[in-house]
């Protein structure tokens, strides 16, 4: 069955979605019985929309040459918001535009417009979930819409799937994780002998860190993910200021050398636990045994550990991250959404 998708944001994640669909769209169809069709792509310059499917090769070519998909043959400068969604005529919105933790735009407006247009939503952006988690869930429920957001919480790590599917009945009491690849890359480079500045430069060269790495090195990104995971998995109503936050700027080479001499590493750990007085969440650099499931993660590796009353600790780790793996995660959400909606035509897949 055809699943029509509107995409907001055509940066490394959005372009990754288009590239994957070009390369392995047929594989998705053959394996899962869904024909994933991008019917609209929006960036800051405008949008291109075609209910029969946007020409993806052209969109990628035009974006590279002119900086906006609005320069495509069917593109429209300034096309945005509700007008864009109406022209795209899609069932699903993939929201992969830049975001922030002040007003969560443009994602927050797109999300509400999508619900108003009876669409389901798959989010890579975090802003709306961090600032408006309960409202997002309520709006989705009122509209009978689904909202999936694996891409926003440490993609491609199966943070939400592990909790939702594998730990049903296990009694999750808390989690801890390495959910920010940039911070982990910087600490790994430093523990191999480099300075903090060299660690940041290497993460930027590898395409993991932003030009301005503040959100990553000061723990904002990890704290945002802790808020989303705690609210989604532990039923919390946390906000960003509720997370005690310390980044990696204060970690020195001497700290890392001292930790290593004692068989430990230093990792930026995001955590939330149920306590007698409610949920407690924090992000801070922490010493971990080198053999520990999180302590041994290097470079852009990430991991999540759930603590449960009936199964003890259950963990997942992944080798790396980046725009393409986030795009794969976003499409994983779309396929799982299609399964839930009964849009797939291959029984059992
Ligand atoms: N990269 C990752 O690995 C990763 C992982 C998890 C989550 N995310 C999240 O996913 C989102 C996209 O990340 P990215 O790495 O692809 O970022 P990016 O490369 O900086 O691209 C951001 C895209 O958003 C577009 N955009 C900004 N404002 C817009 C607006 N008002 N309307 C429509 N489009 C708008 C930009 O348009 P222009 O091209 O015209 O500037 C650009 O195409 C972000 O929210 C990010 O936090 C990223």
Tens of pLDDT, residue by residue over 219-243, are 999 999 999 999 999 999 999 999 9
Helices (H) and strands (E) in the chain, counts: 12, 13
pLDDT tens digit string along 270-321? 999 999 999 999 999 999 999 999 999 999 999 999 999 999 999 999 997 7
Between CA 188 and CA 302 the distance in angstroms is 12
Residue 116 backbone zone (phi > 0: left; psi -120 to 50: alpha; other: beta): alpha
187, 295 in Cβ contact below 8 A?
Answer: no
CA-angle at 39, arms to 36 and 45, nearest 5°: 130
Tokens of 44: 């800051």
This prediction's pTM: 0.97
Cβ 17 under 6 angstroms from ligand 1: no
Cβ 323 under 6 angstroms from ligand 1: yes
Cβ 221 under 6 angstroms from ligand 1: no
Please state the separation of Cα 111 from the chain's center in Å.
16
Q: What are residue 286's DSSP bridge partners?
A: 267
For 6, phi then psi, to 5°, come to -100, 140
96, 121 in Cβ contact below 8 A?
Answer: no
Distance 79 CA to ligand 1 centre (A): 17
Cβ 151 under 6 angstroms from ligand 1: yes
Cβ 124 under 6 angstroms from ligand 1: yes
Neighbouring C-alpha atoms within 13 Å toward the C-beta of 327: 21
Name which residue sits closest to atom 17 of ligand 1, judged by CA: 11
Name which residue sits closest to atom 47 of ligand 1, judged by CA: 125
Ligand 1 atom closest to 14 (CA):
16
Between CA 343 and CA 320 the distance in angstroms is 31
Cβ 128 under 6 angstroms from ligand 1: no
Q: Which of 127, 135, 120, 40 is nearest to 88 (CA)?
A: 40
pLDDT tens digit string along 3-59? 999 999 999 999 999 999 999 999 999 999 999 999 999 999 999 999 999 999 999
The sign one gets for the Cα dihedral 200, 206, 211, 217 is: negative
187, 312 in Cβ contact below 8 A?
Answer: no
Q: Is the pLDDT of residue 73 over 80?
A: yes
Q: Which of 155, 177, 333, 190 is nearest to 260 (CA)?
A: 190
Q: Is the pLDDT of residue 322 over 80?
A: no
Mutate which of 83, 98, 114, 203 for ligand 1 pocket (most atoms within 8 A of beta carbon): 98
Tokens of 347: 């029984």
Cβ 345 under 6 angstroms from ligand 1: no
Distance 312 CA to ligand 1 centre (A): 37
146, 118 in Cβ contact below 8 A?
Answer: no
Distance 15 CA to ligand 1 centre (A): 10
277, 241 in Cβ contact below 8 A?
Answer: no
**Which pLDDT belongs to residue 94?**
98
pLDDT tens digit string along 122-162? 999 999 999 999 999 999 999 999 999 999 999 999 999 99
Q: Is the pLDDT of residue 348 over 70?
A: no
**Which pLDDT belongs to residue 301?**
96
């Amino acid at each position: 069955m055809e699943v029509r998708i509107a995409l907001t944001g055509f940066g490394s994640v959005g372009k990754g979605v288009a590239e994957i669909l070009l390369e392995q769209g047929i594989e998705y169809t053959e394996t899962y019985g869904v024909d994933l069709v991008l019917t609209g792509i929006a960036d800051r310059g405008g949008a291109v929309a075609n209910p029969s499917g946007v020409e993806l090769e052209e969109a990628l070519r035009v974006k590279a040459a002119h900086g906006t998909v609005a320069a495509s043959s069917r593109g429209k400068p300034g096309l945005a918001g509700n007008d864009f969604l109406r022209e795209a005529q899609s069932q699903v919105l993939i929201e992969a535009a830049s975001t922030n933790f002040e007003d969560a735009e443009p994602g927050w407006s797109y999300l509400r417009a999508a619900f108003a247009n009876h669409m389901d939503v798959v989010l890579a952006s975090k802003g709306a979930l961090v600032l408006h988690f309960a409202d997002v869930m309520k709006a989705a429920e009122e509209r009978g819409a689904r909202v999936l957001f694996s891409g926003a919480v440490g993609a491609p790590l199966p943070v939400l799937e592990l909790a939702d599917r594998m730990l049903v009945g296990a009694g999750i009491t808390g989690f801890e994780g390495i959910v920010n690849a940039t911070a982990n890359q910087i600490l790994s480079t430093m523990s191999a002998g480099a300075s903090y500045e060299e660690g940041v430069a290497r993460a930027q060269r590898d395409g993991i860190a932003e030009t301005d790495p503040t959100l990553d090195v000061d723990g904002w990104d990890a704290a945002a993910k802790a808020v989303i995971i705690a609210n989604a998995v532990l039923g919390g109503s946390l906000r960003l200021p509720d997370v005690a936050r310390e980044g990696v700027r204060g970690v020195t080479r001497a700290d890392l050398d001292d930790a290593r001499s004692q068989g430990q590493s230093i990792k930026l750990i995001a955590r939330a636990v149920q306590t007698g007085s409610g949920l407690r969440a924090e992000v801070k650099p922490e010493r971990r045994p080198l053999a520990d499931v999180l302590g041994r993660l290097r470079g852009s590796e990430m991991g999540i550990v759930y603590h449960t009353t009936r199964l003890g600790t259950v963990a997942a780790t992944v080798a790396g991250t980046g725009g393409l793996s986030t795009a794969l995660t976003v499409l994983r959400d779309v396929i799982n959404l299609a399964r839930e909606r009964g849009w797939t035509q291959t029984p059992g897949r």
